[in-house]
Structure 1
Amino acid sequence: MISHLTLQNKQILTNTVSLQVDAQGHEFLIIAHENFNAAFALHGAHLLHFQLKGQPPLIWLSKTANYDEKKAIRGGVPICWPWFGAADKSLGNDLPAHGFARTSKWSLKNINELTHGLEIELLLKDSLQTRKIWPYPFELTLKATLTDTLKLELISKNSGKKAYLYGAALHTYFNISAPESCLLKGLAEQYQDKLDAGHLRKGEASLQIQGPIDSIYTKASAAIALIDNGFKRQINISNSGNDSDVVWTPWVEGAKAFTDMPDDGYKQMLCVESTITRPEGQIVAPNQVHILSTVIGQS
């Protein structure tokens, strides 16, 4: 499972899912299916681990990640919501980067056992605390369908009487064998280079990982392939409900700057994210929903 986490059983929920806690009382959903293993933290509805039997983990998690619920967990799939990056200044100052969903305590909504896997739904609703920094009623659901593929759907429901705009990301950290062994195909032709003041650049047909990357591919691609020659596999990524895809790796200096990532952590991870990054965001009318999703498989 996740060797650097020491957990104890708190409650058996289904034949394959148990609620477990660490020494500090942080809660985790641990899935032990005959075809795969997976884990979620209720802190942030954060997918920490997904691994098909007989395969390397699909998702990377930092061995020095912090679980104290004051910040996001490094690795896995953090949920950025209801904004991506810095909050709009109209909302106020000193607001958390990438929103509050990834540092909030979510609740378990539903578990549905399937023939070849399971569905898990986690729920976050507005509260007095959230309305202090984002003044909208909402219901946010993460629906995870786990089979021989991984499907994550972030379902934003407007439970208020006024439309709202939001930005978001399913900030997926992929587990890789080594950067030099990896190649990305299927990205859009243009991207904003955040390492160069957001200038618009023309991309190549394929992207070799050779240094730090922080790029927003502004025309979302329907299918992206992460080819990992070291692990002898291809990860197939299909995003929807997004307006962009983000590719990110902190590389050497970036990893050293993080206290919750080993200095060599950049050698085992690469982020390819399903994102809503345009300044105007995604509108959700009253009593309506919008779904941001990613479907991940390997071959």
Structure 2
Amino acid sequence: MSNIDYSTILTGIEGVRIVSSNEKYAQSGAGLPIVVVENQLGSASLALQGCHLLSFVPAHGNDLLWLSPLASFDPDKAIRGGIPLCLPWFGGHPAGLQSHGFARTSDWTLEKASNQPDGSTLLILSLSSTTETLAMWPHAFRFEMQIEVGTELKLTLNVDNLSDTPAPFTYAFHTYFAVDDYTQCPILGLEDLTYIDTVGEVRRLPQEGTLQLTGHTDRVYLDVPEAQTIVDGARQIHIHGTAKSAIVWNAAEHALNIADIGPAYTRYVCVERGDVFDNALTIAPQSRFSSVMTLSETR
């Protein structure tokens, strides 16, 4: 557990508490602090390490997020499932630094929790530059995540470039959605777009018709519309976001060799919103970039 005392921030806030991952997920070891949110509209859980959403359940609904049954909750190790935050870079790094950036394994600070007039709960977390981060990404920064838990899950990422030089930046909400069978859930909202297929030889291809996964998939869709929908049987999972890319991924049978996925790979599909590859960004000195994503379901 973190040695930060959040009692003052949480005083008088209904439905928000911090527990150990050992308690929440019945695991042993050092464990990680988990923020649990419960209100009449929905519930969520969040690891302070990585500002990592692990669960979101709208009232009378199912969890929209998939958390691997083999996930580990170890300090400095990314958690498999939920919504890892990939920033300030997405994918591999040319200098061999950790894939998907340092934010998803860094300890974020819970700055605020509040009960909103509509019954939802607002959390605000932040991560600021240190000597260690400046050695990896040479820009003073402040990352802020606003999380609203209600009938929908709304994430607002604010990135402040506090340096005097332009900051190249890519990111993704690396969302793992919980589905019954990843081969039986059409993904709407990507029709007729160009995607970069990174399985095997890298190719640029047009999406013909509705996307439905049949095996190992790793694609980056460019210049996507605001909304996508995953059809999972009788329910539809809705993704709305301001980001211009959508990364669709499932490791399929290759997951059998991934220790924290294994045979559970059939129960998730990643549709990640972000700005990557051709949609990569440069944040001007002393300026802010913001990205919003909202998740919901209907039946």
For 1:202, the equivalent position in structure 2 comes to 206
For 1:78, the equivalent position in structure 2 comes to 84
For 1:5, the equivalent position in structure 2 comes to none
Q: Which amino acid aligns with 2:125?
A: L
Q: Is the 8 A contact 2:21 2:73 kept in 1?
A: no
Q: Which amino acid aligns with 1:32?
A: E
Q: Which amino acid aligns with 1:234?
A: Q
Q: Which amino acid aligns with 1:177?
A: D
For 1:44, the equivalent position in structure 2 comes to 50
Q: Is the 8 A contact 2:112 2:123 kept in 1?
A: yes
For 2:147, the equivalent position in structure 1 comes to 144
Matched, 1:123 2:126: yes
Matched, 1:225 2:229: yes
For 2:197, the equivalent position in structure 1 comes to 193
1: CA distance, partners of 2:205 / 2:129: 39
SS in 2 for 1:264: helix
For 2:25, the equivalent position in structure 1 comes to none
2: CA distance, partners of 1:119 / 1:198: 41
Matched, 1:103 2:109: no
2: CA distance, partners of 1:124 / 1:42: 10
- Residue 214 of structure 1: how far off its partner (Å): 0.4
Q: Deviations over 1:56-80 (max 9, x none)?
A: 2111101111211222110000000
- Residue 25 of structure 1: how far off its partner (Å): 4.6
Q: Which amino acid aligns with 1:59?
A: L
For 1:7, the equivalent position in structure 2 comes to none
For 1:247, the equivalent position in structure 2 comes to 248
Q: Which amino acid aligns with 1:282?
A: L
SS in 2 for 1:129: helix
For 1:113, the equivalent position in structure 2 comes to 115
Q: Which amino acid aligns with 1:135?
A: P
When the two structures are superposed, what TM-score results if normalisation uses the length of structure 1?
Answer: 0.89
Which of 222, 235, 238 does residue 236 from structure 1 map onto?
238
Q: Is the 8 A contact 1:170 1:293 kept in 2?
A: no
Q: CA RMSD in A?
A: 1.7
SS in 2 for 1:207: coil
For 1:258, the equivalent position in structure 2 comes to 258
- Residue 98 of structure 1: how far off its partner (Å): 0.6
Moved over 4 A (4+): none
The unaligned stretches of length 5 or more in structure 2 are 1-5, 23-29
The unaligned stretches of length 5 or more in structure 1 are 1-9
Q: Deviations over 1:163-218 (max 9, x none)?
A: 21101000000010112331111115211101032201111221112111100001
Equivalent pairs, count? 281
Is 14-23 or 206-215 further displaced after alignment? 14-23
1: CA distance, partners of 2:293 / 2:217: 21
Q: Is the 8 A contact 1:274 1:293 kept in 2?
A: no
Is 112-121 or 42-51 further displaced after alignment? 112-121
Q: Is the 8 A contact 2:175 2:272 kept in 1?
A: yes
Q: Is the 8 A contact 2:222 2:279 kept in 1?
A: no
2: CA distance, partners of 1:210 / 1:111: 42
Q: Is the 8 A contact 1:46 1:79 kept in 2?
A: yes
When the two structures are superposed, what TM-score results if normalisation uses the length of structure 2?
Answer: 0.89
Q: Which amino acid aligns with 2:258?
A: F
SS in 2 for 1:214: strand
